[in-house]
Structure 1
Amino acid sequence: MQTITLVLSLLFAVVVSGILARLLPFSMPRPLVQIALGAIIGLVADWRVTLDPEIFFLLFLPPLLFLDGWRIPREDLFKDGSTVLELALGLVVITVLGMGFFINWLIPAIPLAVAFALAAVVSPTDPIAVSAIAKRTPIPKRMMHILEGESLLNDASGLVCLRFAIAAALTGTFSPGDAAFNFLWVAIGGIAVGAGLTVIVGWAKTVVTRHLGEESGSQILISLLIPFGAYLIAEHLHCSGILAAVAAGLAMGFVEARGNALAMTRIRRTTVWDMIQFTANGSIFVLLGEQLPTILAGAADTVRLTGHHEPWWLIIYVLAINLGLAALRFAWVWLSFRLTLFRQPEDRTRPNWRIIGAMSFAGVRGAITLAGVLTLPLAMSDGGPFPARDLAIFLAMGVIIVSLIAASIGLPMMMRGLEMPAEPAGDAAVEAARIAAAEAAIAEIERTQHRLADGRKDADAYVIVASHLMDLYRERIDHQTNLPEQKHIRRRDERIEHELRLAALKAERQEIFRRVRSRELGSEAARKLVRELDFFEARLAV
């Protein structure tokens, strides 16, 4: 009963965090509000959540990473693929090496292998935290796509480095050859498992649907099970479950591009996944905050490991580690942009230091760091305690909080008036697609009209209705092929029409609800009418 009460309390805290984040007079990212609410729960209530890293990884990360991989624009990810790989792989390796030696020098009480392990868990950025901050701070689309791609891929490289560091700490040995081979197996195997499972499931769904029809509930449930299946299979084969979930999401985008699912399935599935994303994102940071009082309670004992007695030394170490991470990231982003992003034919300009600064501030740590540091073993191979484990957990938690605060303050300052290198506009491609789709619709209406009206007495009715529909599509084509000045007028008129339609829809709903309250209309009929209006309004928002 206490577990159920705790879960419901955490979910309620997620809801309250959204309200508080909007009510606060100053801009604060929702993750920070959620951490604060979690800390309050941990202080006020006598509840303690014991986070099992394996369960934490399995419960939260596969669906969130799968959804990010599914929804990320693949063409934009591949266009800046070299930059993404440099940040997701090169920066992680440099961070592990550089910060490992720095942490060992800064805090000699942390053995070198444990310092590398701590550097590995703080090296990946968190897509969940980046997305949460982006909602309050407008980030150029191209930069956001690079950040999302980096954070999707650097989780695996950081956790693989963590695995090697823990093995070195336990055994006292390290083999670069074995590490390189293991990394290739973990990465390639994870990608193959995730993509392969999604393709197989997509093919099976198509076969079953073709013979038995489509059931929206089953289709949605299958989409929920894919990331968990990919993660578990990959982990069973000792590959990267995280990369498997990301690859499954990317492959899902290609599978769904065939357009086999019903419109109703897509609408319902989007709603379900939005709810899962909101709940899981919030729960992660509330849980992180709930762990904070326990970690702070042991600060007095933890600081003695460093050879000091004053707790403020821990704050100095956290700030020093964050500064080291920021310096490494700034230097690597500058070098990466010089070598790739700004070497493209359309981008032959020098990197703007504000772009480099914004990318550096956006290196936020979050759930991956928290879950990764909790995987540090409790004991060595000989049964002795794992050295500096509590200190490493405290420092990792400090890095998460400080990086969130720094991003919430620094990003808005860096983003004012900032523009990424120009990229081709997609308006022409969108308009061409609309014209082609309308032309295809006209041709299909004409074919269907002849097929349905053949031999019928009311064939004239089919001709009249088909002619009306084709006129609507021809009008759409004429709108798309207007001159530039006419397009400007059309966009103005469309904006006015959009506002008027929203006002009309609101009035329709209010009248329906009024009739329900006065018992002039039944609730079931009202739900149907309101649902139709909601779909229409959703279409206007696209």
Structure 2
Amino acid sequence: MESVAISLFLLLAVVVSGWLSRLSPLSIPTPVVQIALGAVIALSTGAAVDLEPDVFFLLFLPPLLFYDGWKIPKEGLFRDKGTILQLALGLVVFTVVGLGLFIHWMIPLMPLGAAFALAAILSPTDPIAVSAISTKVPIPKRLMHILEGESLLNDASGLVCMRFAVAAVVTGSFSLVDAFGAFLWLAIGGLAIGIGVTWVVTRVKGLISRRIGEEAGSQVLISLLIPFGAYLLAERLHCSGILAAVAAGITMSYAEQSGQALADTRVRRNAVWDMIQFTANGIIFVLLGEQLPSIASRAAHVVQSTGHTDPLWLIVYVAAISLALIVLRFLWVWVALRFTLFRAVRKGLPVQRPSLRLIAATSLAGVRGAITLAGVLTIPFFVADGSAFPSRNLIIFLAASVIVVSLLLASIGLPFLLKNLKLPPEPKALAEEDNARAAAAEAAIEAIEQLQKAKKVGRNETELYGEAAARVMEVYRRRIEKQGLQGEAVSHLRKLEEIERQLRLAGIRAERDVYYERSRSRELSDEISRRLIREADLAEARLTGS
């Protein structure tokens, strides 16, 4: 019963954090509020959830990483694949080496292997934290896609680096060849398992659905089981479960392009996954906040392992490490961008140099989150000779503190860096959308005409079909005519469409108010009321893009 009560209390905390975030006049991102709320809960109750890293990874990471991989725009992922791989692989190694040496220089009593372990677990950015920050901070789409792609892929490289740094401390030996081979097995095996599990499940599911029909509830449940299956199988084979979940999500997006799922299934599934993402994201940050008081309570003991007696030195270390992470990220992004521009010039391609503000925003947006916390808690208590792992409590304290600082810095600094920042326009996306809408409209008109001809009806009904077809096809013809317009005519039409959208929204909301009013007065049955309100909700969602 206690575990059930704790789970319900965490869910309530997530709800309250959303209210507090909206009430905040400073536009504080919800994750920061959730961390603070978790800390308040731990301080007021005197207890915190005992965070088991393995259970934490299994419960939260597979579905969230799967969903992020499922929804991330693939054209952006492959268009900026070079930049993403540079950040996900090269930057991780650069950070581990540079930050590890810096920490060892700053805290000589921390062994070099332990310093590398701390640097490794701080090197990966967190996709969950990045997504949560973007809800309050208006990050440009292309930059957001790069950050999401990086954070989805750099977890494996960071965790592998940490694993071998810890092994070097525990055993006293290190092999670069073994580390590289293990990384290849973890990465390639994880990706292959994620792709394979999703492909097999979707093929079997499609075969069964064609034979006996599709049930929306079962389809939603299958989509929930896929990331856990991929993660557990990968971990069983000593591959990266994180990459398996990401690869499963990306594969799922391609499998969905077949369009075999029913519309009702997609609507229900999206609603379920949105709720899971909101709930799991919130619980992760509340749990993080709950761990902070117990970690901070050991500060007096922890500071002794640094060679000082004043706990204020811990603040200095956290600030220095946070600044070093930003500087190293800035240097890597700047050099990588110069190299990319140099190659583009060599190929004769047009280039546009991004401003230093954009590079600074990219550096500041590398927030740390749940993966760092869960990863650092897996550090063993003892080494091979039975002695305590050096500076373990200090490593955990510094990692947890850097997570909070990175979230706060991104929340405060990104709005200033991105304000009125001019980015290269992307007219191709608008053109692609307009072309797709026009082609779909032509196909719709053709389908309507064929249906009208195929219907064998009486003379009176023929006139009705003709009138109804004309009304429906008028909407599609207006969409096709839009393709021939240019310049001011297109701008005028877009403004007209926006005004029409606002008017339609006003009408839909007025309809829904009537449905509610009549339902309350018992002039409308509950069944009909729910159906009409659902129709209005779907129509509004289509117009608002939510």
TM-score (norm 1): 0.96
For residues 284 and 93 of structure 2, what CA distance do their matches in structure 1 show? 26
Structure-2 residue corresponding to 1:201: 201
Deviation at 1:457, TM superposition (A): 10
CA deviation profile, 1:123-179 (whole Å, cap 9, x unmatched): 011112122222222111111111111111111110011111111111111111111
Query: Higher mean Cα deviation, 510-519 or 138-147?
Result: 510-519
For residues 97 and 485 of structure 1, what CA distance do their matches in structure 2 show? 55
For residues 261 and 495 of structure 1, what CA distance do their matches in structure 2 show? 31
Distance 1:432 1:485, change over 3 A: same
- The alignment's C-alpha RMSD in Å is 1.9
Tell whether 2:351 aligns with 1:348: yes
Q: 1:139 is paired with a residue of what secondary structure?
A: coil
For residues 113 and 267 of structure 2, what CA distance do their matches in structure 1 show? 49
Structure-1 residue corresponding to 2:50: 50
Deviation at 1:346, TM superposition (A): 5.9
2:501 pairs, out of 498, 517, 520, with 498
Structure-2 residue corresponding to 1:237: 237
Tell whether 2:417 aligns with 1:418: no
Answer whether contact 1:89 1:157 (CA < 8 A) is retained: yes
For residues 478 and 108 of structure 2, what CA distance do their matches in structure 1 show? 74
Answer whether contact 1:72 1:145 (CA < 8 A) is retained: yes
Alignment-mate amino acid for residue 295 of structure 1 = I
In the TM superposition, 1:421-500 aligns within 5 A as: 421-453=424-456, 462=465, 465-500=468-503
Answer whether contact 1:28 1:408 (CA < 8 A) is retained: yes
Distance 1:509 1:342, change over 3 A: farther
Distance 1:498 1:458, change over 3 A: closer
In the TM superposition, 1:324-339 aligns within 5 A as: 324-339=324-339
Identity %: 60
Alignment-mate amino acid for residue 235 of structure 2 = E
Answer whether contact 1:347 1:421 (CA < 8 A) is retained: no
Alignment-mate amino acid for residue 355 of structure 2 = N
2:371 pairs, out of 358, 368, 382, with 368
Structure-2 residue corresponding to 1:141: 141
Structure-2 residue corresponding to 1:96: 96
Alignment-mate amino acid for residue 172 of structure 2 = G
Structure-2 residue corresponding to 1:380: 383
Distance 1:535 1:27, change over 3 A: closer
In the TM superposition, 1:230-379 aligns within 5 A as: 230-340=230-340, 344=344, 348-379=351-382
For residues 537 and 48 of structure 2, what CA distance do their matches in structure 1 show? 42
Answer whether contact 1:342 1:349 (CA < 8 A) is retained: no
Gaps of at least 5 residues in structure 2 are none
Structure-2 residue corresponding to 1:389: 392
TM-score (norm 2): 0.95
Alignment-mate amino acid for residue 519 of structure 2 = V
Alignment-mate amino acid for residue 186 of structure 2 = V
CA deviation profile, 1:472-499 (whole Å, cap 9, x unmatched): 4333322443344333222222222212
Structure-1 residue corresponding to 2:109: 109
CA deviation profile, 1:13-57 (whole Å, cap 9, x unmatched): 111111111111212111111110000000001332111111111
Gaps of at least 5 residues in structure 1 are none
For residues 381 and 505 of structure 1, what CA distance do their matches in structure 2 show? 68
Distance 1:232 1:31, change over 3 A: same
For residues 350 and 302 of structure 2, what CA distance do their matches in structure 1 show? 49
Structure-2 residue corresponding to 1:69: 69
Deviation at 1:342, TM superposition (A): 7.3
Alignment-mate amino acid for residue 158 of structure 1 = G
Alignment-mate amino acid for residue 433 of structure 1 = A
For residues 264 and 342 of structure 1, what CA distance do their matches in structure 2 show? 50
Tell whether 2:153 aligns with 1:150: no
Tell whether 2:544 aligns with 1:541: yes
Structure-2 residue corresponding to 1:222: 222
For residues 80 and 411 of structure 1, what CA distance do their matches in structure 2 show? 22
For residues 151 and 413 of structure 1, what CA distance do their matches in structure 2 show? 23
CA deviation profile, 1:239-258 (whole Å, cap 9, x unmatched): 11111111111111111111
For residues 135 and 505 of structure 2, what CA distance do their matches in structure 1 show? 24
In the TM superposition, 1:153-192 aligns within 5 A as: 153-192=153-192
For residues 183 and 242 of structure 1, what CA distance do their matches in structure 2 show? 13
Distance 1:346 1:16, change over 3 A: farther
Alignment-mate amino acid for residue 536 of structure 1 = A
Answer whether contact 1:438 1:476 (CA < 8 A) is retained: yes
For residues 160 and 5 of structure 1, what CA distance do their matches in structure 2 show? 36
Distance 1:470 1:28, change over 3 A: closer
Structure-2 residue corresponding to 1:517: 520
For residues 518 and 470 of structure 2, what CA distance do their matches in structure 1 show? 37
Structure-2 residue corresponding to 1:127: 127
Alignment-mate amino acid for residue 372 of structure 1 = G
Deviation at 1:459, TM superposition (A): 6.2
Deviation at 1:382, TM superposition (A): 2.9
Alignment-mate amino acid for residue 243 of structure 1 = L
Alignment-mate amino acid for residue 233 of structure 1 = L
CA deviation profile, 1:396-453 (whole Å, cap 9, x unmatched): 0111111111111211111112133444432221111111111112222333344443
Answer whether contact 1:334 1:351 (CA < 8 A) is retained: no
For residues 540 and 227 of structure 2, what CA distance do their matches in structure 1 show? 31
Answer whether contact 1:442 1:470 (CA < 8 A) is retained: yes
